[in-house]
Amino acid sequence: MSRKLPLAGGEIARTACARGLLRTGVEEKTGELLSAAVLAERVGWAADLVSGMVAALLAEHWNAADVDVLAAGEDAAGRPLPSNAWMALRRLGWTAGPAGGIRVNDRIVRIAQEAAGRTLRAAKWRADLTAGVLATWPADPARRTPKEWDRVRAAVPGGEYLPSSVIKGRTRQITAFVKQHGRMPVNVFEVEAAPRIARMLLLSACDQQQATLERADEPGRALLRLQLPTRPDPRSYKDWTWISCPLSLPPTVPAGAVLHLPTLRIHRGRVRADLAYTHAVPRTQRSGHAVALGVDWGLNTLLSAGAARLHADGTITALGGGGMFRAAGVLAKQHRLRRQGEQLHTKAGHYQRLIAEDEQHALTARHQVLAEEIRHVSGRRSNLNDALARAGARWAVDQALAAGASLIYVEDLRSMEARGMGRTMNTRLSQAVRGQIVDRMRHLAAETGIAVVTVPARNTSKHCPQCLEVLRHRKAPDRPTIAGWKWALCGSCGWQGDRDAGAWKRIAARGLTHQTKTVTDRTTGAMAIRTVTDKLEAGAVITPAPKTSRTDRSKTGPTRHRTTRPTPRRRRTPSPTGPSGPAGQRPEGHSPTLDFARAGGPPSRTADGCPAQPTGTRA
């Protein structure tokens, strides 16, 4: 199968990932059919061998010096390091091997080096962030002054656009270390231990001597071939055998996409395959847009969105009244699980204090049960967050497609901090999955060539979308008994409406007027408008639609009385004088009416009482 993707004009290559499932396998040497349980067992044996080598590599190189060497991108001779993590580790001489007596091929070692190299490269950002926070440690860690915020952002790479919550999280982590050890940590490697690596096989680090993936003759099917051990501790290469696994491709994978080797992992006794593929998508543009969708993060509703159009004369009008994405049921369940998790953590902490160092304590078994229940509740919360993120992102992209928008403007998440709104609201905001929604929104929008751009969220709910005057917030007129400030009213131009509806209008108008200032991050490819200028902001207003003229409907006389009771249907066929039959049913029913004057009078009847067929014709 060719690995080159043909591209047409206005298209770019995009790599995405889809989930698959390996249900069975066939051992090529013997022809034995492997069940799902046996296949999961053999994949687990290979994953255990890889995890052991990864743990050894991280334990040896989890320090500031080695992480800096790997992040520098050069070896001892000054040559640039390869982009592949396993090749970079081999260039530096960082190797690993299985335990004594176990025989694995070189491709399994590559998988371990790739996983360890990716983890060590990712640790560089955390190390620089922690170093910047330590270098500018504030006088009061719980409350930084504006000058202290400026210093810490200047000391952190990319700190100017870093969310404040990330810096606050690192500050709390260092504060907990100081409280426990009575001193400041030297770097992040004292604060954090070497992370645990999941049991998975990164087949992308292999070549055809370890694994291959080809499309099958049947559409929507592929065949994965890989070498797996026949025992948990293979002693020779004879203990490794080729397994053929049919793979059903998800419907989201295009027919012309180029498939890449997947990542295998064990989940609930089954082998999951994270399948990467490359396909062609329309190229997104940073500017030159006429229709955009504005998305606002609400307090009472998760998402509020609507479309706006930029006309040739520079005016902006709203396309409809917008919509709201409500997930009250999912959020309520999420809050219940959060409270349950907090109670379980409190109880488990109390058990831990009672157990102390006594492993034979009577509460040890109960503590283990609580730990398992905590993991179960955490898993349910993660699944709810994933489902909520997928649904919210799909809704926003569908709104853009329905409105014909070529890009989506979203509020910048840096200003979304849970503070100053009460304990309940602060907790609700901190549990929102806004970051996941934006990531999935970018993923779905890229499939159709729609760009997702973040804009500053300052004063989007404070100023009027039509005249930029300060709004007055009050209770909603349809809910006067519910506390809150959901309704907005402008005293200058008279605009009034839901504050979230006014916010998405402000976001869409701000994005359309500042679209020439859109920048693209080189590392992530995310688009953003980072600054707002007063000159362009003055034109970021929504022009109200002109009122349509209608004919004069004023009254010139009294209104004719109309009864609310409908007039009964008149019968044109007279009822018979005598009983029509044993059941007493009237003969007219819904039969057509005849002209009895020309037919010679009413119809005659037969011996059994039924009307005879008329001999006349209808006029």
Structural domain spans, the chain: 27-137+184-214+226-242, 291-325+395-537
pLDDT reported for residue 298: 75
pLDDT reported for residue 330: 85
pLDDT reported for residue 550: 63
Q: What is the DSSP-derived secondary structure letter of residue 561?
A: P
Distance, in Å, from the CA atom of 208 to the CA atom of 84, rounded to the nearest integer, reads 17
Phi and psi of 159, rounded to 5°?
-70, -20
Q: Which of 226, 241, 187 is nearest to 29 (CA)?
A: 241
8 A C-beta contact, residue 38 and residue 294:
no
pLDDT reported for residue 551: 66
pLDDT reported for residue 591: 47
Distance, in Å, from the CA atom of 382 to the CA atom of 375, rounded to the nearest integer, reads 10
Place of tokens 């060590």: 120
Angle at 69 between CA 63 and CA 74, to 5 degrees: 165
Residue type, 440: R
8 A C-beta contact, residue 105 and residue 211:
no
pLDDT reported for residue 31: 92
Angle at 42 between CA 38 and CA 46, to 5 degrees: 165
Distance, in Å, from the CA atom of 462 to the CA atom of 490, rounded to the nearest integer, reads 10
Within 285-333, strands assigned E span: 291-296, 303-310, 316-325
CA distances from 549 to 374, 422, 494, 553 (A): 64, 48, 20, 12
Token representation of residue 604: 């005659």
Residue type, 538: A
- Spans of the chain below 50 pLDDT: 1-2, 421, 425, 428-429, 588-609, 611-619
pLDDT reported for residue 222: 94
Residue environment code for 586-601, b if the CB has 16+ CB neighbours within 10 A, otherwise e: eebeeeeebeeeeeee
Residue 294 belongs to what H/E stretch? strand 291-296
Identify the bridge partners of residue 9 per DSSP, sorted by sequence position: none
pLDDT reported for residue 461: 85
Between strands 451-455 and 258-259, the pairing is unpaired
pLDDT reported for residue 593: 47
8 A C-beta contact, residue 111 and residue 87:
no
DSSP per-residue string spanning 502-514: HHHHHHHHHHHHT
Torsion region of 507: left, alpha or beta (phi above 0 gives left; psi -120 to 50 gives alpha): alpha
DSSP per-residue string spanning 344-377: HHHHHHHHHHHHTT-TT-TTHHHHHHHHHHHHHH
Q: Which of 17, 39, 87, 2 is nearest to 263 (CA)?
A: 17
For the chain, how many helices (H) and strands (E)? 14, 20
CATH number attached to the domain at 291-325+395-537: 3.30.420
pLDDT reported for residue 545: 75
Q: What sections of 74-206 are H helices per DSSP? A: 85-92, 106-135, 146-155, 164-181, 188-191
Task: Tell me how far apart the terminal alpha carbons of the chain are, to the nearest angstrom.
Answer: 81
Token representation of residue 63: 């320090």
pLDDT tens-digit profile of 553-606? 677 778 777 776 665 665 555 555 555 555 555 554 444 444 444 444 444 444
Distance, in Å, from the CA atom of 26 to the CA atom of 318, rounded to the nearest integer, reads 59
**Residue 415's Cα: distance from chain center in Å?**
20
Residue environment code for 219-231, b if the CB has 16+ CB neighbours within 10 A, otherwise e: eeebebbbbbbee
Distance, in Å, from the CA atom of 12 to the CA atom of 281, rounded to the nearest integer, reads 6
Distance, in Å, from the CA atom of 211 to the CA atom of 195, rounded to the nearest integer, reads 27
DSSP 3-state of 465 = coil
pLDDT reported for residue 430: 53
Q: Which of 277, 184, 140 is nearest to 222 (CA)?
A: 277
Distance, in Å, from the CA atom of 282 to the CA atom of 10, rounded to the nearest integer, reads 6
Token representation of residue 260: 């890449």
Phi and psi of 132, rounded to 5°?
-65, -40
